[in-house]
Amino acid sequence: MPPMPPMPRTARVIPPLALALALLAPAGFSPPAAAGVKLITLPGRERVEIQLDHPGVTLVEEERIVPLAAGVNDVVFAWANANIDKDSIQLRCLTDPTQIRVLSVSYPPGENALTWQVSSPAAGSARVRISYIIGQLSKTFAYRAVAANDERTLTLWQYIELHNQASESFGVTGMWPGFGERLERPIGGNETKRLLASKFDEVPVVKRYTADLSSHGYLDAAKRQLRIPMHYILQNDDAGGLGAFPLMPGKARIFQDDGRGTVAFLGEDWASYTPRQKELALSLGVAKDIVVTRTIERRDQRRVKGQLFDYDVVVKYEIENFKDSAVELDLAESMTALRREIRGDTGRAVEWTFGTGGTLRNPDADRSTADRPLFHVALPARGADQKAVKTTVRLHVVIKNEW
């Protein structure tokens, strides 16, 4: 039997955990009288759809075939083990909505139940749709990333983890996560189920090394050696092999193909929410084979006028790459943090300009800010003698109009 098409987005439903339907034709009603009908066994669900696109609300729709008597029927809807928002519960008749109508709804005090009065012109079965918001059905996201041995591409799996904390089993259920394809899986009571939502192959990846004292601190403060975090950088766009939808936040487990038919675990990170056209950075820990020693080589104070001074500052970075391959290092320096280091914090926005004596002069225009210029430094591979080639660069800035 082919799968049913998704329900219209305008009518969303959440399935109750415990349902009781009773349909009775009250005595003395003017339409044609019919014998009372009482349902002791709940009709089985014909269809269930769960909407998972909202970050804080889960909406479910279910359809059932209900026998109606001619006249007015009392349709009782009760739930015992579900955290259902009773104000969100709705019933609609799909069989003949112009003739079979909900006349009223009442809520028995102190009970997890409600009663609809449903008018039907004739006896017979009707397909109804019941919808509601439930609080015991939630979702989280998770990722698995496996980088190629050369770390130029990776395969990314995105999973939805469905958490059903109610004792109700929904059977085969359609789910719409808000992006990608509609999913259809059985959902049991009190279970967590991991569902593959999307898979992306051959995703281009860049391995980024960053030296930034203000953001990452020292690895060894006594030796003035900076901490160098590593990240895999993915672009959530068409060129980056992604871009079909924003990437939801979730735990990411990261692996690398070891070239021998197995994968090596690199670590875990929390993937942040990543809109389309933005980059996702997955942390790989701290590099131990790139050493950056940072020192203040010059700090000259020059009087401008009265109590106004400029500070002529040169920061020296001595960098060693102990890898067998050449890499690029991102090197950033916060001017606010640098001013605090050389003369203390004033609470004012820092005013600065590049000096003429440094080798770092062309910051990355896209990733730099007014306070934090960022540079790219090419590092050669270590030599055949296994010794690193030392690369020395200098940042020359003038911090202006301080007092």
List C-alpha distances in Å: 269 to 95, 122, 232, 253, 266: 50, 61, 11, 7, 10
Over the stretch 251-294, which tens digit does the pLDDT of each residue have? Answer: 999 999 999 999 999 999 999 999 999 999 999 999 999 999 99
Percent of the residues in the chain that have a pLDDT greater than 70, as a whole number: 90
For residues 379-397, give the mean pLDDT. Answer: 93
CB 93 within 8 A of CB 118: yes
Residue carrying the six token digits 């924003």: 246
Band (193; pLDDT cuts 50, 70, 90): very high
Percent of the residues in the chain that have a pLDDT greater than 90, as a whole number: 74
Residue carrying the six token digits 């080798």: 359
For residues 337 and 15, the model is more confident at 337
Distance from C-alpha of 315 to C-alpha of 397, rounded to nearest angstrom: 8
List C-alpha distances in Å: 72 to 39, 67, 302: 15, 12, 93
For residues 34-38, give the mean pLDDT. Answer: 36
Residue at 283: amino acid letter: S
**Would you state the pLDDT for residue 37?**
36
**Would you state the pLDDT for residue 15?**
38
For residues 40 and 43, the model is more confident at 43
Distance from C-alpha of 169 to C-alpha of 166, rounded to nearest angstrom: 8
Global pTM reads 0.80
Residue 148's nearest CA partner among 203, 73, 216, 90 is 203
Over the stretch 71-118, which tens digit does the pLDDT of each residue have? Answer: 999 888 888 778 899 999 999 999 999 999 999 999 989 888 898 999
**Which two structure tokens, joined as six digits, stand for 182?**
């509609």
Over the stretch 107-162, which tens digit does the pLDDT of each residue have? Answer: 989 888 898 999 999 999 999 999 999 988 999 999 999 999 999 999 999 999 99
CB 195 within 8 A of CB 159: yes
For residues 47-52, give the mean pLDDT. Answer: 94
Distance from C-alpha of 114 to C-alpha of 119, rounded to nearest angstrom: 16
Choose the weakest-confidence range: 42-46, 333-337, 342-346: 42-46
Q: Residue-wise over 336-365: b if at least 16 C-beta within 10 A, else e?
A: bbbbebebeeeeeebebeebeebebeebee
For residues 10 and 86, the model is more confident at 86
Q: Residue-wise over 208-242: b if at least 16 C-beta within 10 A, else e?
A: bbbbbbbeeeebeeeebbbbbbbbbebbbeeebbb
- Mean pLDDT over the full length of the chain: 88
**Would you state the pLDDT for residue 42?**
53
Over the stretch 292-304, which tens digit does the pLDDT of each residue have? Answer: 999 999 999 999 9
**Which two structure tokens, joined as six digits, stand for 97?**
């909505």
**Would you state the pLDDT for residue 179?**
85
Band (178; pLDDT cuts 50, 70, 90): confident
